[in-house]
């Protein structure tokens, strides 16, 4: 595994001071609630998109795992190809940049 992240989100109150990192071969989503870091290999990513806050209607509500206060502001929704929890919502400090870099490491997105 490559140990130099392409992107590291800043810790904020919105992401509950958690850190989200993109590497060339994977995503790492720190999770205080689950007491570990969620590692998602790049080839397991089915889709990734920016979602509005829940205050903008039903499209803003994320169904699945919510790693932080994602429904309260613009956030990222990650869809995995397999696993028990296929939908993960989280709030990096720059959602647009996070999604752009994530798509660059994932062929076919």
Model pLDDT for residues 64-108, shown as the tens digit of each residue: 778 888 778 889 999 999 888 899 989 999 999 999 999 999 877
DSSP strands (E only) in the chain: 7-8, 20-22, 26-31, 36-41, 45-51, 65-66, 75-80, 87-90
Please give the mean pLDDT across all residues of the chain: 86
**pTM for this one?**
0.84
Domain 7-105 fold:
PH-domain like (2.30.29)
Please report, for the chain, the start and end positions of each structural domain, with discontinuous segments joined by +: 7-105
């Amino acid at each position: 595994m490559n140990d130099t992240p392409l992107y590291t989100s800043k810790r904020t109150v919105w992401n509950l001071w958690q850190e989200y990192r993109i590497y060339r071969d994977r995503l790492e989503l720190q999770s205080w609630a689950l007491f570990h870091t969620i590692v998602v290999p790049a080839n397991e990513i089915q889709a990734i998109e920016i979602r509005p806050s829940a205050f903008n209607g039903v499209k803003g509500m994320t169904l699945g795992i919510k790693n932080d206060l994602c429904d309260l502001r613009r956030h990222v929704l990650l869809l995995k190809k397999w696993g028990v929890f296929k939908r993960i919502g989280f709030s990096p400090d720059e959602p647009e940049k996070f999604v752009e870099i994530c798509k660059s490491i994932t062929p076919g997105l």
